Chains A and B, each alone.
Chain A
Amino acid sequence: ILNVEQSPQSLHVQEGDSTNFTCSFPSSNFYALHWYRWETAKSPEALFVMTLNGDEKKKGRISATLNTKEGYSYLYIKGSQPEDSATYLCAFQQAGTALIFGKGTTLSVSS
């Protein structure tokens, strides 16, 4: 059974803090790694789709890195804002298979 682990499960930071989360996935038969942001009462929103080892993606204050050989991806948020409060999900994909999601990291940012 393929397993995707995310850590920490939750964290609480102050406005302006920078933070990062980890997504661990099987290192074999890698095809793609997806990051989503899911705000309460809204639809999950795609942040990044990463396909190559060493990939680095950036969208505003949020960035992500990918290491397919060791099976992990980091998501970084620089200068957290209250509107960054959400659950961040990663999903791993092997060729020809569906997305396998982790349980998510719930971020709470206080002003």
Chain B
Amino acid sequence: DAGVTQSPTHLIKTRGQQVTLRCSPISGHKSVSWYQQVLGQGPQFIFQYYEKEERGRGNFPDRFSARQFPNYSSELNVNALLLGDSALYLCASSLRLAAYNEQFFGPGTRLTVL
């Protein structure tokens, strides 16, 4: 079975641009979460979606938005990019919403903002 997949692998943007990152969960998983990992820090929670509804949001500005599609894949959008948005963006999927459910991570998208 395929694991969590993310695209693109790497991305270079300039300040002020907009970016869309994509995530496909493991087949059968209905919950998708997004995390931002800045060098030297642990992953920080951005969003969680379950059954196409937002179920949690971290402390990120409104420039960050996401959605989940009927097939449970998800997109993370970031508008008006800042240099500080440069990071590894991780997507994780789980079977259900329950907190103790094991989360399976994708390899991430490395975003560089120049």
Number of interface residues of B (CB under 8 A): 24
* Complex contact B58–A98 (CB within 8 A): yes
Q: How far is the CB of B105 from chain A (nearest CB, A)?
A: 4
* Residue B16, interface by CB 8 Å: no
Chain A contact residues (Cβ within 8 angstroms of B): what range? 20 to 34
Is B65's CB within 8 Å of the partner chain A? no
Does residue B73 face the partner (Cβ distance < 8 Å to A)? no
Question: How would residues 41 to 60 of chain B score, 1 for a CB under 8 Å from any chain A CB and 0 otherwise?
Answer: 11111001000000010100
B106 contact set on A, CB distance < 8 A = 43
Contacts of B86 in A (CB 8 A): none
Distance between Cα atoms of A4 and B42 in the complex (Å): 10
Q: B42, B44, B104 — which one has the most chain A CB atoms within 10 A of its CB? A: B42
User: A98 contacts B48, CB within 8 Å?
Assistant: yes
CB of A6, distance to nearest CB on chain B (Å): 8
Q: Could you tell me if B102 and A46 are in contact, using CB atoms closer than 8 angstroms?
A: yes
**Is A103 a contact partner of B103 (Cβ separation < 8 A)?**
no
Option from B3, B4, B102 in Cβ contact (under 8 Å) with A49: B102
Known A-B contacts A4-B42, A97-B56, A102-B42; the reply to A43 vs B99 at CB < 8 A is: no
Interface presence of A101 (CB below 8 A) = yes
Residues 90 to 106 of chain B near chain A (Cβ within 8 Å): 90, 99-106
Q: B residues within 8 A CB of A49? A: 100-102
Give the interface of B toward A (CB within 8 A).
3-4, 33, 35, 40-45, 48, 56, 58, 90, 99-108
Which residues on A are within 8 Å of B, measured CB to CB?
A: 4, 31-32, 34, 36, 41-46, 49, 51, 89, 91, 93, 95-104
